[in-house]
Structure 1
């Protein structure tokens, strides 16, 4: 099967993939590369999700790229604005010309003898092959085909539509209807206030509460700094200010959870009607940051509750009826439309089958090196962002490290690099040490982390700046190999 050869092959044209391509394209203008995208559009998450109110769950000063300032007034941006930002970034650098749509990568096999990857791609009903010196996966970590939907009892009895936000129908009419949103995570707290513009009433039905913190939709200080210092410098200062604040809150949450719990509760009380049962509906069973903290811009969820357009019910589902949901408490919750904001299904590396020299790689048998490479897989990088901060903070650092790594290999004539775990004292741990249900359901299918560096998936941006932006490349764990010179045979 004839194949095309590239220096770097990037999989995924979302936020991470476009950022990775920008770093590669800028650092190595003569290197050949392509981005393979299974869907027919770029943008990844921000093109896939179309539900009402879809927005970032972190500020754009950290969700934006380090190399391209976010210049809009809103710090908590909506999905279409983020999608435009990604596509404009790609277009300005000419990266969009390197994206190949409708190319689904199904398998990748490394040859040590040839120092290259052979990648199998499904395109227009046929399988084609590409080869590359370096494979860079920016596939995210969840199924694009569908989200997680529990098997609710008697759901088939319900007369109205039951919708998962990941497959939002364009023609859904919920005007004047009673809507029940099942869930209490980032998607649910976004949907509930957004749907109150048309719905008669929106109810958030949760099994247990989540930590929710209101935050201004606009960062006035960020906008002022950009006016005073210019976009690049003002953006950088705000970025580090936001990183510092998020880091402080996270560390206090881990070290003094009672203090942060009290702070969030007090802020919540201020935004809800007098006498509201805060401890039933907004007092989680776990400590802050055991699961991701949900942000609501300008307190929109609390405002919708205060104005009577939305409500929260904390109960469990006993089953569906023709006209709604029957709860464990015995109460009936009427509904015309039900939205199951019940989470994601994780999928490691887009489900791509990996092999090295003909041997299949089983991901749970590998260790993640610096949270971006895998033991035993040469010339291979992946992006998994932070769970306690913006995804792009880590994505940018991974791309910067990859550029440094490729330059190091060029300078020394290396054609291969591979992390090797030969330390018997290393014990294995889950790659994503996070209590959220969507993580716990599938984390066993992912690579593992180790008990110490460099085999840990760090969750501190400041530490990763030192490790990935400034740390040694040749650290003794990453092994390099130069191309072997093959003997010339006389004719």
Structure 2
């Protein structure tokens, strides 16, 4: 039997759970369900299991705006984040609305009925289900959960050791006393090195080019001070959150407006951590700070293992793998028992599901985003993608709140559809994420992503303060977002309890 809800959410990670909680908190009265391919809540934080997995944003802004993150650590480990998401779902009664083990494979919008029909594969049995919904919310991120980005290296078949990718870390991997080479210089590599070094024989980070790194204290001084002063959790969270949003924005703006000064500040900090004899070439990228996402190390943990001699950094390119390890283009041989390919992710929208309207295929990379959440000529659809230059959840919260405001107008005025239409002059060549960063995964996935606009609310600026005005404060009926009503014949379906 077909199951029907007012709002169908794809994904039970931070974005999906947050969206469901907003539906409840803002008393939309909407029935809803969540389809989750995995067997657990958490999304990214349930998938990744590599040593040291942690947030790369501070937890006072990475937590939900409506539920305080109780703690003083600047960054949190993956398991703690997953627990936080799961506890949030339980607190708001969302868990009972999640349908696990469901992979969305296709979605089609029927304009005559103002309704989405979603085809779902139950991977454990191979059976399929059909769901219908008035509104569809994509909350499953933008990367391929099945396969990370893993280039083929020359000579890798000759290597006698083990090659692993962090996205699918073997639970029984024993690296104690072994020589490990980690290929990459991004957040994953910078997390792995200090986590593996105390147990491994030696760890080498092999980077083609450096990444900008900033050391932060592991404990948030403001959060710690407010806790000692016994300030109520909700108030302390709001104060710390507002402060950290401002600091994030200030760091980004400084890097954009005065990159020379930003570079000097970052390199000075690194020299203070490692001493005056450090070779700063290993820490000086060819690009400006925040052209790619900044990597954060709590209490300088990376620098500590480098100083201890348990780890080192090699900046070079791979010539070939050998039986014993890797030979670089400069001729240096790096012996290894284990090679970790921390080479990033593959972009994939909506988990690879196909989309159509009245049976006609929709190419998301030919649509343009409006307020970063709606997409041109796709009715009753919202997709949540977080910030690239700040905490993901800041944008996810705004998107979910915006959805609730749209639903409220539909309920009050008995509308059945909402939609935005872009004029030719609204389109820009850059993808939704391409205007902010030059990271490899963004460049590789450029062709998959929706476009961003050239003007007004079509243009993505990755600025929380501006987006808050657009999505939280500005009028919903702004002349671009169009509502309409169609007479829909009634058919018997299985209803799901409302929010």
* TM superposition score normalised by structure 2: 0.95
Cα distance in 2 between the residues matched to 1:277 and 1:458: 35
1:443 partnered with 2:446: yes
**For residue 234 of structure 2, what is the aligned residue in structure 1?**
232
Q: What whole-Å deviation, never above 9, does each CA across 1:460-490 have from its counterpart, x for those lacking one?
A: 001111111111101111111013378xxxx
**For residue 157 of structure 1, what is the aligned residue in structure 2?**
158
Q: Give unpaired runs (5+ residues) of structure 1.
A: 487-491
Which of 265, 268, 275 is the aligned partner of 1:266?
268
Cα distance in 2 between the residues matched to 1:40 and 1:33: 19
Cα distance in 2 between the residues matched to 1:223 and 1:6: 43
Q: CA deviation at 1:446?
A: 1.3
Assess, with a 3 A threshold, how the Cα gap between structure 1 residues 383 and 259 changes in structure 2: closer, same or farther: same
**For residue 382 of structure 2, what is the aligned residue in structure 1?**
381
**For residue 363 of structure 2, what is the aligned residue in structure 1?**
362
Q: Give unpaired runs (5+ residues) of structure 2.
A: 490-499
Q: CA deviation at 1:414?
A: 0.7
Cα distance in 2 between the residues matched to 1:171 and 1:425: 52
Work out whether residues 3 and 129 of structure 1, in 8 Å CA contact, stay in contact via their aligned partners in 2. Answer: yes
Cα distance in 2 between the residues matched to 1:60 and 1:283: 27
Work out whether residues 426 and 453 of structure 2, in 8 Å CA contact, stay in contact via their aligned partners in 1. Answer: no
Cα distance in 2 between the residues matched to 1:485 and 1:178: 65
**For residue 195 of structure 2, what is the aligned residue in structure 1?**
194
Q: CA deviation at 1:151?
A: 1.1
**For residue 284 of structure 1, what is the aligned residue in structure 2?**
285
RMSD over aligned Cα atoms: 1.4
Aligned positions of 1:51-200 closer than 5 A: 51-123=50-122, 124-200=125-201
What is the SS of the residue equivalent to 1:192?
Answer: helix
Cα distance in 2 between the residues matched to 1:29 and 1:412: 14
User: Structure 1 residue runs of 4+, over 4 Å off?
Assistant: none
What is the SS of the residue equivalent to 2:41?
Answer: coil
Work out whether residues 179 and 201 of structure 1, in 8 Å CA contact, stay in contact via their aligned partners in 2. Answer: yes
Q: CA deviation at 1:423?
A: 5.2
Q: What whole-Å deviation, never above 9, does each CA across 1:334-391 have from its counterpart, x for those lacking one?
A: 1111000001101012112111112110112111111111111111001111100000
Cα distance in 2 between the residues matched to 1:16 and 1:397: 11
1:471 partnered with 2:474: yes
Cα distance in 1 between the residues matched to 2:119 and 2:421: 26
Cα distance in 1 between the residues matched to 2:391 and 2:69: 14
Q: CA deviation at 1:425?
A: 5.8
Q: Determine which structure has greater relative contact order: mean sequence separation of CA pairs < 8 Å that are 6+ residues apart, divided by chain length.
A: 2
Q: CA deviation at 1:163?
A: 0.3
Cα distance in 2 between the residues matched to 1:272 and 1:351: 44
Q: CA deviation at 1:225?
A: 2.1
Q: CA deviation at 1:332?
A: 0.5
Work out whether residues 59 and 74 of structure 2, in 8 Å CA contact, stay in contact via their aligned partners in 1. Answer: yes
Cα distance in 1 between the residues matched to 2:221 and 2:431: 39
Work out whether residues 8 and 137 of structure 2, in 8 Å CA contact, stay in contact via their aligned partners in 1. Answer: yes
**For residue 489 of structure 1, what is the aligned residue in structure 2?**
none
Assess, with a 3 A threshold, how the Cα gap between structure 1 residues 182 and 475 changes in structure 2: closer, same or farther: same
Work out whether residues 371 and 458 of structure 1, in 8 Å CA contact, stay in contact via their aligned partners in 2. Answer: no
Work out whether residues 425 and 454 of structure 2, in 8 Å CA contact, stay in contact via their aligned partners in 1. Answer: no
